[in-house]
Structure 1
Amino acid sequence: MKSVSVRSLVERYKLEILAAEDQLNREITRSKVHRPGLEFVGYFDFFPMNRVQVLGRKEINYLHRLTEEERNLHIGNIVKYRPPCFIVTANQDGLKYLMKYCQEEGIPLLRTSELTTEFITKVDAFLLQALAPEIAVHGVCLNVSGIGILLRGKSGIGKSETAHTLIRRGHRLVADDIVVLKNLSSTTLLGTHNQSTREFLALRSIGLVNVVRLYGRRAFQDETRIVLDIELTQWKDQDLNNELEYEPKFSDYMGVQIPYIELQLQPGRDVAGMIEAAANNWYLKQQGYSAAEEFMKRLQPE
């Protein structure tokens, strides 16, 4: 199971450590943080104990109003489940009683100056990506006109050369050779690099090139949502025809269905241009437009 340490949150968001500084190696294994509201009044039936617990103004003001006996009871009921950490937002103070319990139980108590809603949004996004199931595939990942494309094919078919042409036309490289795919949801697949290949493109007969050094910062981006899976294959005589619209095909990556297109290679065929056309056509379909439907309407007698 993938995990993120509490220390990584401290370093990423510059959090102040109020208690249990020696426990920052505790692991976070669940995405999405939790605000313990019902738990403070004794309802624990669905308490997500493995999540980061965020205490905003509502929670802290509620605790401040309790008697010492009530406060000890409610806080004690929560800390016994040993969540990864507590984070207090908006620089709230008066937390000595909370510091005492967290120190005794070895649960890091952290504080940020950020407002609750904004902070939760940032942390949720970070944990979702960091803890997402992932696989590595051989190919090239590109962002073409704002549309994420996974470009696959046998070794030597011309994936990197095609990517280079697209980069020169103003599109962006995400990853070459090894593409890391992350499952963010049942409908969202994120493509990124594995850090070691970041910004590099391997071109046969030339070697490694750094696309940022060659073409500037706009030639690269760290990640993109994959919406098209395009496979480059060798040309097959009599295999292609001129249908108005092809039956959609899909690839499956960790349960996420991605539209699949096969592009057959032939000398003189503008593969990069075909990929641009596929990306733009996918976008138009998302807007509800079909060229084939419009063409058929034009053929109908008025």
Structure 2
Amino acid sequence: MATVTASDMLERFQFELLAGEEGIYRPITTSDISRPGIEMAGFFTYYPARRLQLIGRTELSFYKQLSDQEKEERMTKLCTYDTPGIILSRGLEPPEELVKAAEATGVPVLRSTLTTTQLSSRVTNFLEGELAPVTAVHGVLVDIYGIGVLITGGSGVGKSETALDLVRRGHRLVADDSVEIRQQNEDTLVGHPPPLLQHLLEIRGLGIINVMTLFGAGAVRPFKRISLCIDLELWDQKKAYDRLGLEEEKMKIFDTEITKITVPVRPGRNLAVIIEVAAMNFRLKRLGFNAAQEFSERLTEVIEEGEQTNY
């Protein structure tokens, strides 16, 4: 399972570490952030201790009205051995009781100059991206006219060669051989290359090439949302392939379904052009233009007119 630590947050957002240095490597396992307003009032029955705690001006203003004994008690309960960190917004000064409790339990206390709302939004987005479910798929991911196309198929079917042809036609490579896919939310899949394989493409007989070095920075992308899957398979004479495109096959990754098109491979077929047109046609369908459906409706009209003529 993916994890993030307070150390990662320090590096990513340039936070200031105020206390609890020994706990900066505690794992943050959820993207949910808690603002402990009701806890400041003394209600800890449902305290989400495993979440990052975000303290803003509102919480501290209420805290200052408490007695010295209440202040110490609240901060002691707030800083548990499960708490991954506490963040202060707006450059606020940490109360002495918070620093003392944090040092005792090893809870890292961080400070940011951002407003509480800005801080909550940025940290949540960062954690959702880092903690999203991830899987690896054998294939190639290419950005074709803004559509993230995942090209899959058996080993040696021509995925990398097709990707190279697409790059030569002006499209952008995201990943080759292995695509790391994260589910950013319920209906969004984002593909990344493994760090070791970034910008690299393997062509049998030629070896490994660096796409960015050969074709420039405009030929690669660091990540892309996946919208379409093209599955390449060797042509089977006994199999009936879809010739109209009326039936839409789906592929499920995590909880997200994407459109899948099976393209048979045999000598003489220009796969790069076929995949390029498939991406453009997919884009047109999302805009409401479906050529296969339009042809089917025309055919139905012709048949109905013929039947009326016969009568």
Q: Same fold (TM over 0.5)?
A: yes
Q: 1:142 and 2:138 equivalent? A: no
Give matches, 1:70-85, under 5 Å. Answer: 70-80=70-80, 82-85=82-85
Query: Which residue of the partner structure matches residue 62 of structure 1?
Result: 62
Q: CA deviation at 1:101?
A: 1.8
Matches within 5 A, 1:151-230: 151-230=151-230
Give the superposition deviation at 1:144. Answer: 1.4
Q: CA contact under 8 A between 2:81 and 2:105: conserved in structure 1?
A: no
Residues 101-148 of structure 1 deviation map (CA, whole Å, 9 limit, x = unaligned): 211221110111122222222222222222222222211111212211
Counterpart amino acid of 2:288? G
CA distance in 2, matches of 1:127, 1:173: 26
What secondary structure sits across from 1:182 in the alignment? Answer: strand
Cα deviation, residue 215, structure 1: 1.2
Cα contact 2:75–2:97 (8 A) shared by 1: no
Separation in 2, partners of 1:262, 1:194: 26
Residues 34 and 286 (structure 1), Cα distance of their counterparts in 2 relative to 1, 3 Å cut: farther
Change (3 A) 1:217 1:297: same
Percent identical pairs in the alignment equals 37
Q: How far did residue 263 of structure 1 move?
A: 0.8
- 1:90 matched residue in structure 2: 90
Aligned length: 301
Which has the higher mean CA deviation after the structures are superposed, 250-259 or 292-301?
292-301
SS of the residue corresponding to residue 205 of structure 1 reads: coil
Matches within 5 A, 1:94-109: 95-109=95-109
Amino acid at match of 2:269: R
Between Structure 1 and Structure 2, whose CA radius of gyration is higher?
2
Range 174-183 or range 287-296, more displaced: 287-296
Partner of 2:309: none
| Structure 1 residues without counterparts, runs of 5 or longer | none
Q: Describe the SS at the equivalent of 2:177.
A: strand
**AA of the residue aligned to 2:119:** F
Go from structure 1 to structure 2 and tell me whether the alpha carbon gap of 1:234 and 1:71 turns closer, same or farther (over 3 Å shift): same
- 8 Å Cα contact 1:183/1:189 also seen in 2: yes
Amino acid at match of 2:275: I
Q: Contact 2:141/2:191 (CA < 8 Å) preserved in 1?
A: yes
* Inter-partner Cα distance in structure 1 for 2:60 and 2:97: 11
Correspondence 1:263-278 to 2 at 5 A: 263-278=263-278
Match of 1:21 in 2: 21
Alpha carbons 2:140, 2:159 under 8 Å: kept: yes
Partner Cα distance (1:109, 1:288) in 2: 52
- CA offset at residue 68 of structure 1? 2.5
Give distance in 1, aligned partners of 2:47 and 2:172.
43
- Going from structure 1 to structure 2, the CA distance change for 1:101 and 1:148 (only over 3 Å counts) comes to same
Shift of 1:176: 0.7
Tell me which amino acid in the other structure corresponds to 1:151. Answer: I
The whole-number CA distance in structure 2 between the counterparts of 1:156 and 1:174 is 20
Query: Given the alignment of the two structures, is residue 240 of structure 1 paired with residue 241 of structure 2, yes or no?
Result: yes
8 Å CA contact 1:85–1:110 kept in 2: the answer is yes
Give 1:288 shift.
Answer: 3.2
> d(CA) in 1 for partners of 2:270 and 2:54?
53
State how far apart, in whole Å, the 2-side matches of 1:127 and 1:137 are. 23
SS in 1 for 2:140: strand
Following TM superposition, by how much is the alpha carbon of 1:83 offset from its aligned partner in structure 2, in angstroms? Answer: 1.1
CA contact under 8 A between 2:4 and 2:131: conserved in structure 1? yes
TM-score by length of structure 2 reads 0.88
Compared CA separation, residues 282 and 43, structure 1 to 2 (3 A): farther
**Letter aligned with residue 157 of structure 2:** I
Q: Distance in 2 between matches of 1:50 and 1:241?
A: 51
Q: Are the equivalent residues in 2 in contact too, given 1:32–1:123 (CA < 8 A)?
A: no
RMSD: 2.2
Q: Which amino acid aligns with 1:189?
A: L
Structure 2 Cα separation of the partners of residues 88 and 280 of structure 1: 48
1:292 equivalent in structure 2: 292
Counterpart of 2:2 in structure 1: which amino acid?
K
Q: TM-score, normalised by structure 1?
A: 0.90
Letter in 2 for 1:37: G
Q: Does the C-alpha gap of structure 1 residues 38 and 292 become closer, same or farther in structure 2, counting only changes over 3 Å?
A: farther
